[in-house]
Structure 1
Amino acid sequence: MGDPQTDCLFYFRGIPFMHQIYNMEGLERVEDFEVMDDDVFITTYPKSGTTWMQVFLSLVYAEGDESQVKDIHNFDRAPWLEAMMDDVVKTKRPRLISSHLPFNLQPRMLREGKGKVIHVLRNPKDTLVSFYHFHNITKFLESQSDFQTFVEQFIDAKVFIGSWFDHVRGWFENTHPNVLHVTYEDMTIDLDAVTKKVCEFLGKTLTKQQLESVKHHSSFNIMRDNPKTNFSQVEMFDFEKGTFMRKGKVGDWKDYFTVAQSERFDDVYRERMVGLGLDFIWDLPARKPTCSVELV
């Protein structure tokens, strides 16, 4: 008997993808995709803040004018390169392009330094928990009633897009002159600082009022209540089992991981991420940190 989780997936160059969204031909086309100088790629491992950055950047380019983007679905604000390439090609420049692909599967021109990349990452325990819920509401993925099993599948890369560890390492170890790394935690704790950093990176100058509008209209509550950003109109999800946008919080992992699971994950993290010097926030500063990983 096959693994019900991996039976929902097919492999392309060693990475698992969902049959219902991706196909070999579309993934093969990515290599030769023509990247423009003003293209901005939003790259993420799933459930790391992709939707938030899509909304946020669309508002930055609209200079805070929500009326320009409110009624546009996230799929159209920043279409997915590996699943919607024809839509990407037709998108008005400057293009916002989303991708879950690891660095080595990105277009050759991007790997060679063309365009700009905003890479969003999130502490992997919160990513794992959010991914666990994603699997439970996605109709064509195996529901995960056993959290322990999913922890092991995540560690063993038997989930959509494969290894979080390899994905993140790939974006940090490969050189690209125009990559900005942003964490979900920094966006949560100090969106002002992230907004300033992103605008400088993109060469955008916004007024104080425009910046406030960007922050307000990309807040979790606003996104959660907008059907164009909360995915409530997407048929691939079973919303009787949950919502696409759940809590949007830092440290949710502590409500799911047992001490043993946390320690097991910490051991894997230390082994797989050694040398990168990543410094994640594992909990909000107002609360006492409980993660045993020492990040150096």
Structure 2
Amino acid sequence: MTLLPDPIISTWLFSSVVFGPWSNHVTGWWEKKQTHSKLLYLFYEDMVEVNQITTSCAIKMLLELEYSIQVRGRVQFENMKKNSFVNYFTSLAMDFKISPFMRKGKVGDWKNHFTVAQSEQFDEDYKKKMKNITVQFHTVV
């Protein structure tokens, strides 16, 4: 278990950092989805839980059915992890060789990095920042 130090959690929750605060990313894209019908808001947990159904919905929405086998293969975690377009980022602020965007592909792995107190702090922050957003997260399958 590699727990994150409290200052890192606090900075990520409450400050403007690279890829943060998390809530701006989530709410910004959720609001875009409300006005763009072809924007698919997809959670990794959903892909793991119901891979065939979720992928089929995405394919029907975005592509011709003939590409379904190709798409299903490409959205498998190991294939996405190897894909340089998925892990592409040019900023010197992040070294993806040290911490790649696609890490383990394990639902719920966050529990190995947060203490109970940090998880409770995130839950409190989540309730405040997401009170007007209808998106429903789940972090386990």
TM-score, normalised to structure 2's length?
0.74
- Map of 1:268 onto structure 2: 125
**1:136-215 residue pairs with structure 2 within 5 A?**
147-173=5-31, 175-178=34-37, 179-202=39-62, 204-207=63-66, 210-215=67-72
Q: 1:270 to 1:238 in 2, by over 3 A?
A: closer
CA distance in 2, matches of 1:261, 1:223: 29
Contact 1:157 1:164 in 2 (8 A): no
CA RMSD of aligned residues (A): 3.0
1:245 counterpart = 2:102? yes
CA shift for structure 1 position 267 = 0.8
CA shift for structure 1 position 163 = 2.2
**1:20-31 residue pairs with structure 2 within 5 A?**
none
CA distance in 2, matches of 1:161, 1:231: 14
SS at match of 1:247: coil
Give CA deviations for 1:33-71 in whole Å, capped at 9, x if unaligned. Answer: xxxxxxxxxxxxxxxxxxxxxxxxxxxxxxxxxxxxxxx
Q: Which runs of 5+ in 2 are unaligned?
A: none
**1:47-196 residue pairs with structure 2 within 5 A?**
147-173=5-31, 175-178=34-37, 179-196=39-56
Residue identity in the other structure for 1:218: V
- Map of 1:139 onto structure 2: none
RCO comparison, higher one (Cα < 8 Å, 6+): 2
SS at match of 1:170: helix
- Map of 1:24 onto structure 2: none
CA shift for structure 1 position 248 = 1.4
Q: 1:194 to 1:265 in 2, by over 3 A?
A: same
CA shift for structure 1 position 167 = 2.8
CA distance in 2, matches of 1:173, 1:229: 25
1:277 counterpart = 2:137? no
Q: 1:218 to 1:152 in 2, by over 3 A?
A: same
CA distance in 2, matches of 1:176, 1:185: 24
Q: 1:223 to 1:177 in 2, by over 3 A?
A: closer
TM-score, normalised to structure 1's length?
0.39
Residue identity in the other structure for 2:131: V
CA distance in 1, matches of 2:30, 2:79: 32
Specify which of 213, 221, 224 is matched with residue 78 of structure 2.
Answer: 221
Aligned length: 134
CA shift for structure 1 position 244 = 4.7
Q: In proportion to residue count, which structure has more strand?
A: 1
SS at match of 2:41: strand
